[in-house]
């Protein structure tokens, strides 16, 4: 996606250029953005989902890159029009925005959650619908959800159901008392919560504040309470002297598009805030993004990045919709269909065996692990080892320090190409970034690339 700064792409690494971040300011991202906006409705052929009633898709017409999206649902006893202002605002900044109505204005948060999830189906179909102007232009793995009041509560529920959701924006959220608990707010999707100081409908003490407190500390989260405001304040990006829109856009840019230049805007307390709390830490200048190719079927993946969140569920989330199973070197498994994480946290130096339904790209964000500064412990027997090299390198050269120990029995890639030092045979060829390798050694030792 085009942005207000230019990404420098070297091989599979996206380095953040912080000198260019100076152009990203509150003033530079106010309404409107740089893109022209058009709309699509069901009258134009957009799918009519059974779990919601009516929709409008706002999209940038002069953007050539693959587009991220957000779906927003309104609150109790209200209509799609109440949250419509978000559509042209976000689309003008390059984010496709789908606003939807509900089957009944009396729908509760759970039904609004179902509406959001069903709308995701409709939005994804636009990427393949023959006559859609969005055909082939949507990143269907990069969708956020949002909602106002009961819609905000529904967005929270949707994140607990579908971990592929990239971000949540809750506008003065409301949930039933029995759902405001750690159990029903337990998800890892970055969530931005807007609240109002004088909200007489979704009192912030009973609702938004509790949403923030009960969302896990391991989940990126932020709450911004607008001073002197009421229940409808977050329905408009221009509210809070425009700071509502600035913060929401910055949140989506960072957590959907990995554009870390927006992070300082997220952590800067708005002038209109009566409460502002978050657990966000902006990455250092050493932050990079590695794109790891996860191919269809079985393969072994690894990364030379120390991710900002090392929990395996969070690490694998960008490709989880295509993942069947992942395993570490001792057989601990991650099973997405069962929401079971037996792997726990990602371990530096380790590679992982995965099975994919389809090929997908896994973005890993964090600080680079310098190969020359990090050793990897190999246990006696079989190991799954990460590749810390950022470009392809001859395997004899990459493993030279290890081969000199005469401790290696065999080194293999995911399709069985082997390096057999005892026989002087190297069928492995070059090591590739993002791939992992099986190594069998006779004694515990250290690998230094």
Give the active site residues: 149, 199, 231
Give all strands of the β-sheet with 287-294 in edge-to-edge order.
8-10, 13-15, 287-294, 360-368, 305-307
- Beta carbons within 8 Å of 425's beta carbon, 6+ residues apart: 418, 419
90: left (phi over 0), alpha (psi -120 to 50) or beta: alpha
Of 291, 292, 297, the closest CA to residue 258 belongs to 291
Which SS3 state, helix, strand or coil, does residue 400 take?
helix
Integer Cα distance of 247 and 265 in angstroms: 7
Partners of 397 in the β-ladder? none
User: Which of 254, 261, 323 is closest to 292 using CA atoms?
Assistant: 323
Structure tokens at 270: 């708005």
Biggest CA-to-CA distance, the chain: 78
373 near 420, Cβ under 8 Å? no
Q: Is residue 181 a contact partner of residue 214, using CB atoms and an 8 Å limit? A: yes
Integer-rounded Cα Rg, in Å, for the chain is 23
Q: Please give the structure tokens belonging to residue 76.
A: 């109790």
CA nearest to 381, candidates 416, 346, 403, 407: 407
Contact by Cβ (8 Å): 393, 413: no
Q: 448 by DSSP, 3-state: which?
A: strand
Look at residue 244 and give its three-state secondary structure.
helix
């Amino acid at each position: 996606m085009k942005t207000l700064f230019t990404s420098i792409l070297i091989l599979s690494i996206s380095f953040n250029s912080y000198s260019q971040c100076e152009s990203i300011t509150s003033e530079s991202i106010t309404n409107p953005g740089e893109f022209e906006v058009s709309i699509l409705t069901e009258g134009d052929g957009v799918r009519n989902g059974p779990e919601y009633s009516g929709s409008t898709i706002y999209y940038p017409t002069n953007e050539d890159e693959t587009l991220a999206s957000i779906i927003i649902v309104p609150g109790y006893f209200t209509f799609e029009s109440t949250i419509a202002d978000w559509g042209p605002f976000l689309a003008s900044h390059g984010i496709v925005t789908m606003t939807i109505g509900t089957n009944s204005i009396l729908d509760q948060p759970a039904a609004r959650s179902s509406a959001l999830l069903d709308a995701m189906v409709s939005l994804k179909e636009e990427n393949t619908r023959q006559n859609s102007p969005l055909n082939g232009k949507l990143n269907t793995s990069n969708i956020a959800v949002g909602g106002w009041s009961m819609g905000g509560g529904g967005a929270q529920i949707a994140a607990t159901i579908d971990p592929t959701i990239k971000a949540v924006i809750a506008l003065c959220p409301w949930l039933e008392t029995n759902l405001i608990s750690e159990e029903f707010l337990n998800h890892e999707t970055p969530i931005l919560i807007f609240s109002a100081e004088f909200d007489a409908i979704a009192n912030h003490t009973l609702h938004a504040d509790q949403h923030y407190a009960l969302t896990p500390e391991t989940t990126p989260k932020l709450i911004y309470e607008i001073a002197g405001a009421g229940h409808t304040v977050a329905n408009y990006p221009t509210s809070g002297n425009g700071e509502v829109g600035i913060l929401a856009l910055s949140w989506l840019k960072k957590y959907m598009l990995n554009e870390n230049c927006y992070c300082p805007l997220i952590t800067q307390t708005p002038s209109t805030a009566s409460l502002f709390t978050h657990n966000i830490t902006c990455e250092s200048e050493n932050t990079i993004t590695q794109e790891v190719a996860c191919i269809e079927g079985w393969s072994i993946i690894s990364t030379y990045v120390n991710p900002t969140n090392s929990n395996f569920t969070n690490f694998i989330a960008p490709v989880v919709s295509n993942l069947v199973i992942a395993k570490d070197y001792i057989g601990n498994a991650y099973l997405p269909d069962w929401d079971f994480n037996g792997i726990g946290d990602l371990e530096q130096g380790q590679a992982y065996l995965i099975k994919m339904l389809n090929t997908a790209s896994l973005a890993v964000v964090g600080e680079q692990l310098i190969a020359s500064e990090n050793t990897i412990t190999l246990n006696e027997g079989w190991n799954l080892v990460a590749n810390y090299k950022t470009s392809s390198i001859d395997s004899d050269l990459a493993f030279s320090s290890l081969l000199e120990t005469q401790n290696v029995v065999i080194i293999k890639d995911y399709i069985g190409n082997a390096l057999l030092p005892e026989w002087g045979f190297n069928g492995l060829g070059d090591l590739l970034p993002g791939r992992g390798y099986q190594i069998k050694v006779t004694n515990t030792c250290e690998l230094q690339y």
